Structure 1
Amino acid sequence: MIEITVQPLTATAFAPFGDILEATGDPDKLINEGACGRWHDRAQLEFGDDGRAGISIFNAEPRALPYVFDLLERHPEGSQAFLPMHANDWLVIAAPDEDGKPGTPHAFLATGQQGINFHRGTWHGVLTPLHAPGLFAVVDRIGSTPNLEEFRCKTQYVVSS
């Protein structure tokens, strides 16, 4: 088993895998007569040639640290964004691509105020809330062609705090 230490989810650390969706710093604009801050265009969404954006609701079972996994997946035709519908911390696992297979995974601890968007083709772990409810809005590609590749790792990984 290979141990991975979880790190905080930051824009710099997560940049190779996708975008962080959060309202930090000053908003890009004020709208609604100045009563609403807008953090504008925070993710690179992709849906392929024959896809469209869809919003789904996922309710995943909570997991705990240390967390053991050996399954990674990616979506070659589109990006996939996860927006927590709760205020709890959750785990994000992502890995670089190495010749069509996942490289060494990285683990990030996201807060309930952080969403993420995996870029198209990014290897990642399954949705991993650390507390109930595991409720997320998910924005991803809806289309007629397959958009899921799964990879079972030869060794297990354990994420620890």
Structure 2
Amino acid sequence: MVSTFFLTILLMIGLFFFIRGSIKDRTEIVTLSCPENEDSILAYLRDYFQQRSYQVKAIDGEKNKVTLEGLVSPSVFLAVFLSFLAGCGLFSFSLVLGMLFHPQVNWFIALIILSPMAGYFYWRGAKRVEEVAFRIDNAIDEKEKKETVITIQAHRDELINLQSSFPFNYEVKEA
């Protein structure tokens, strides 16, 4: 019985870190190489990020860098899902505590009322202002072809969405 208690404690610690990791910043940098001209790529990126409710924060003409920011709203599904997971974890924990201490009435089951705190924690921490920065440079590759190199720094999910909808032929460069 004691080993089950310690395993449940370890699972609760893992659940705690999973819930805490749901609001972690996942900013990445991706470099794309594209044969299109700089103006068409810049127009596409401007329209793409405006549709996603990003506003221009700064333009650095010397470095050819644009910084945008936008408010990222939390996901209702993820808030409910995290609350559900916390409820399952707290229910299991209360059952183990009930078996370990053998009360006549299992008051430990009341721990389940704490599960909505996981959704609240996510909802409070996930709503934040995200920054997207991109730089467009012209380069000549080893085959003497002119190409445009785009370096984008953004949240991982934003980069995945951008790459899946990017209309130009591109290749990902190693950073």
The verdict on a shared fold, with TM-score over 0.5 as the criterion, is no
TM-score range, shorter chain: under 0.3
Report the TM-score when normalising by structure 2: 0.22
TM-score, length-scaled by structure 1? 0.23
Q: Which has the higher strand share?
A: 1
Question: Greater share of helix residues, 1 or 2?
Answer: 2
Larger Rg: 2
